[in-house]
Structure formats: C-alpha cells, structure tokens
A = this chain, B = another copy of it.
Amino acid sequence: VDRLARQSPARLALGVFAGVIAIFTALLSLPIATATGTRAPFVDALFTATSAVCVTGLVTQPTGTYWSTWGQVAILVAIKIGGLGVMTLASLLGLAVSRRIGLTQRLLVSSETKMTRLGEVGSLIRIVILTSTLFEVAIAVILIPRFHLLGESWSTSAWHGIFYAISAFNNAGFVPTAEGLAPYVSDWWILLPIVIGVFVGSLGFPVVLDVLRHARRPRRWNLHSKLTLTMSAALVVAGTALVAAFEWSNPRTFAPLDWPATILASLFAGVMPRSGGFSTVDVAGMHEGTWLLNDALMFVGGGSASTAGGIKVTTLAIMLLAILAEARGDPDVEAFGRRIPREALQVAIAVSLVSATIVLVASLALLAITGLALDEILFEVISAFATCGLSTGITAELPDEGKYVLVFLMFIGRTGTMTFAAALALRNRRRVIRLPEERPIIG
C-alpha cells in the first residue's frame, strides 16, 4: 500500500473508492434494503452509496423512511468505511509527500523512532481507527441519554446516538429520521456535541494527532496545524456572524426562535458548511445571501486529509498569506515564523482554479439539463463537490442525468482534490535548461 501510494496515489484512491461504492450500491440494491421491500432504482442505490462512502450527505430518498433498518445500517457502515478510507488514505498520501519532499515533519512518528515503513503504515491505520472511534463513542455517550430523556426508547436512543455520532465525526450529514435535527433546533445538549464533533472531524487527522501530542504546548504545533486551526476558527466566526445577520428576522428560519436558540442556530449554521451538512432550519427558506455565503464557505471546505471537502482551508490560507506578502512587499510568503515554499503556492492555485472550473462546468451542465435557477444549482453543485451535503431541496427532483452529475461531483470532489494535490507534490522537479525570463503585464 505504501509503495502504491507513493507510485500512483491517484489510482490507489480512485480504485479503492470506486470498489467500495460498487459494493454498497449492490447492497442497497437488495430488496431488503428498502422499507417497502421493493428493489430501489439503480440511480438511488448508486447515489446513496456514493453519498455515504464519500461522506457527503445529499440524498435522493429520505434516509429514515425510504431505507429499511438493514439499509440504514449499510449506509452507516458505508459512512464509517468511507470516513476511515479518506482519513487513512489522505494521511498515507501526506506521509508519502512529506517523505518524498524530504521533510522530517512526519504525520505520526518522529524520525528518531526508526519504525519500518510497514509498521508505520499499520500504526497509522490503527491510530486513525482508534482515535476516530473514541471520538464517536464519546459523542454517542453524550447524545444517547438526551434522546432517552426526550421520550425515545433506550434502543432507539442508542441507534440515533450512534448514527449521529458517526455521521457527525465523519462529516457525513446523514440523518436517521425524516425530520433530522430540526426538532432539536434549541437543544444545546444535542447540538453542541454534534457541532464539536463536526468541527474536530473537519480539521483532519494530521491536525488532531499533532494537537493531541502537544496538547499543552501550542507553540510546538506544526505550521499545518496552526494554519488549519486559525483559518477554521476565522471561517466559523465569520460564517456564524453573517448567517445571524442575514437570518435574524427571517420568518422562515430564525425569527420564531428566542435569542439563545438564534445564537445556537447561527453557530450550527456557521460550522456546517465546513462540511458537516446537517441543518436545524430549512435551507430552502434561507435568504439568498445566506445561500451565497454558504457557497463560498462550502467551496473552501475543511482541513486537508480530513473527511471534509472543498479546496481546503490551508489552500485559502496560503493564498491570503501570498496577498499579505504582496501588500507588504515581502519576497517570501510567511506564517507563524515559517517560510512557505513557492511550490505550495503553485499547488494552491492549481487546486483552486481546477476546482472552480469543475464547479463552473457542472453548473453549466445542470443548468442545461434542468430548468432550475442558478442559485439552487450553484448551491447543489458546490455542496456535492465539497462533499458538504447541505441542499436547498432540489436533489430528489433532479432528472436522472442530473443525479449522475452529482454522483460524479461527489466522487471527484472526494478522491480528486486529495489525490490531485498529492500527485502534484510527488512530481519530479528537476530541470536542466532554464528559459530566459520575461514578465507579462498583469491586472
């Protein structure tokens, strides 16, 4: 795996994901997977399997009522496998990248421990499984008594608690009931653990492990952790404040809530575009401005090597730092006392522009296929590409071609940005002849 990851990271990730999606499509195509016992249409089985494995959360059929308990368990397993797959594959690629480019900054083990490669990979996978399961258990343990207090049986409470815990920490956005989290819009006990789970999950494993290892000494966190945490926090604060401003007096969303509930709902809506994908108020009823804000936040997404999607917060951070360096007249892009290499800037441009192009082309395709307006299309396309899972409610109404476009977006959004950046970073960068320099006019 390690060798394959270094030699052809793209093929590895694409193959693993395509295979796992095929298996779950087959499982969800069985008659026992639906509540009515009839075979689900291929497009719905494929869409749901892709959405679960790619931890997106967009659905063409309501998870809690259309699928049987058996089907819902399959979806939950797909989320867990997809989440673990993303975290381990991305961490492996990160390991390969950091080794190839000759940095001592490893993801897991410092070079002094002299572990073998196989041991290193095995220990990485073990640690990822252990840590993520611990986080999920912690969230479930908090949620289950609350569901029971609210009148559910212990077994239903346990099922809902476990489902939400796994769905939240893996940023999957699937909900086990038809109403989802809407009934708990003012319930801090339920929503706060979910918000924290989504936020921690969206940081990515390299950050979580680095922070856990140096929990008491933030100064020793590596540059990647510092950038990810700072940028994520800034986006949550900005998102929360702007959602509150746009929705405060909207009768279809926040207006009926008292002010503590409004603050909770704003915080919730501010964190979810990172790519949690849950919603406590009706997204369809939100202001156009909130939609556009969500478009921007979802496009940025979460941390690298996390279950979140998008171009990633470090990509945005590097571009912002480049602007800051330009404005100051600094020749180097710097942050937290470190210089960021020029190649990183080039990768950031490539990831951003390719992502923007994919969103543009997919939006044009969906506009051509459907008669829907740009606001809903753009929201859906970015949500699928960034594997966020928020929706204005058009997913189920799309024609089959439109659903296949979203399937492609979820798949490419999940596997593409991860492997693309790794593939770029693993490139051979030697060159004998340098051409004479000439500067075009810009802007």
Chain A residues in the interface with B (C-beta under 8 A)? 94, 97-98, 101, 103, 105, 204, 206, 222-224, 227-228, 242, 246, 287-289, 291-293, 296, 304-305, 311-312, 314-315, 317-320, 322-323, 325-327, 329-334, 337-351, 353-354, 360, 363-364, 367-368, 372-375, 377-378, 417-418, 420-422, 424-425, 427-431, 434-443
CB distance from A352 to the nearest CB of B (A): 8
Q: How far apart are A99's CB and chain B's nearest CB, in angstroms?
A: 12
Instruction: Please state if B314 and A442 are interface contacts (CB–CB under 8 Å).
Output: yes
**Chain B residue at minimum C-beta to C-beta distance from A347:** B442
The answer, among B292, B315, B437, for a CB contact under 8 Å with A443, is: B315
Per the bound structure, the CA–CA distance linking A8 and B119 in Å amounts to 60
**In-complex Cβ contact of A287 among B339, B341, B367, B421 (8 A):** B367
Select which of B224, B341, B345, B367 is within 8 A of A349 by beta carbon: B345
Residues of chain B contacted by A434 (CB below 8 angstroms): 332, 339
How many copies of the shown chain assemble into the complex?
2
Contact A292 B440 (CB under 8 A): no
Known contacts A332-B434, A421-B443; 10 additional CB pairs below 8 A are: A204-B441, A223-B438, A223-B440, A287-B367, A288-B367, A312-B442, A339-B437, A349-B349, A374-B378, A422-B443
Contact A326 B345 (CB under 8 A): no
- Whether the pair B441, A97 counts as a contact (CB closer than 8 A) is yes
A314-B440 contact in complex given A326-B346, A326-B427, A367-B289, C-beta closer than 8 Å: yes
Chain B residues contacting A363 (CB-CB under 8 Å) are 292
> A288 contacts B373, CB within 8 Å?
yes
Cross-chain contact B440 with A227 (CB below 8 angstroms): yes
| A274: min CB distance to chain B, Å | 16
Q: Decide if A331 touches B429 in the complex (CB within 8 Å).
A: yes
Contact of A436 among B288, B339, B439 (CB under 8 A): B339
